[in-house]
Amino acid sequence: MEKIRYGLKLWSDNIDLVADVVAAHRDGHFDFVELYSNPAREPDYSALEAMKTVPVTIHATHSHGFHEFIIGDEQRKIWRQTIALADFFKSPIIVLHPGRLHTIESFKENLAKIDDSRIHIENMAGRDINNDPMFGQDMSDLLQLKNIKPICFDLEKAIKAACYQNIDYKKYIGEALLKLKPEYFHISGGDCTSPVDQHLDLAEANFDLRWIKNALNALPRCSIVFETPKKDGLVNDLENMAYFRGL
């Protein structure tokens, strides 16, 4: 029996999709929404009100200095918008990228400027979309990050990190599940021979999705967000979830 909880990825300014999201959740297509806090626009809380019938987690922005995770006055202001969204939905989780070129010490210094008990730190790919190496991909770093906050474990990023470090991805993921003990996940498609983050459809993945699904079903608890491309409203999101269910 499948125990996995399915999550839909949405942006805070996808106001045109709110009614469809509420209806699709009511019809049982997914269990919760992960809402990305887009700092380019102030959230329309009157439009988002209808989505309070759906459990919502929050993903902090990875732009405006958060990709590097260097926290200054502008980033503190942006963070207040993220906190406001989390408070509005009573969200139990705020996912945060650990940035680039950090040490544990420099990451902790910046985290202290915006700390919140709901933060989950996401593991990173070998290289980002700009082909730059990322902090938070090495297992020794992730184990130290786990002592600070729970880990949001992105499976596609893990495969990219394994490629970058020349490690078998099944060994890397297996070690992560055992040692990091994540309960909250992201998934998307990608090329396991490339270290670069991609976020493709699951049908485009050349890694063993059935093995991943079996590993997740063996966990006591698992919530997984589908970070696949958004096409034709929610159609592509739901097709990717159906693909995964059918494995």
pLDDT, position 111: 98
Q: How far is CA 180 from CA 125, 208, 211, 215, in A?
A: 16, 21, 19, 14
Q: Widest CA span of the chain, in angstroms? A: 48
Closest among 146, 156, 141, 128 to 67, alpha carbons compared: 128
pLDDT, position 131: 86
Phi, psi of 151 (to 5 degrees): -100, 130
Query: Cα(75)–Cα(91) distance, rounded to whole angstroms?
Result: 21
Tokens of 60: 């902090």
Tokens of 25: 């959740």
Strand partners, 153: 185
pLDDT, position 1: 63
pLDDT, position 132: 85
- Low-confidence residues in the chain, pLDDT < 50: none
Which domains does the chain carry?
5-245 (3.20.20.150)
Q: What is the pTM of this model?
A: 0.97
Query: Cα(168)–Cα(159) distance, rounded to whole angstroms?
Result: 8
- 97-125 per-position pLDDT tens digit: 999 999 999 999 999 999 999 999 999 99
Backbone angle region of 151, left / alpha / beta, with phi > 0 → left and psi within -120 to 50 → alpha = beta
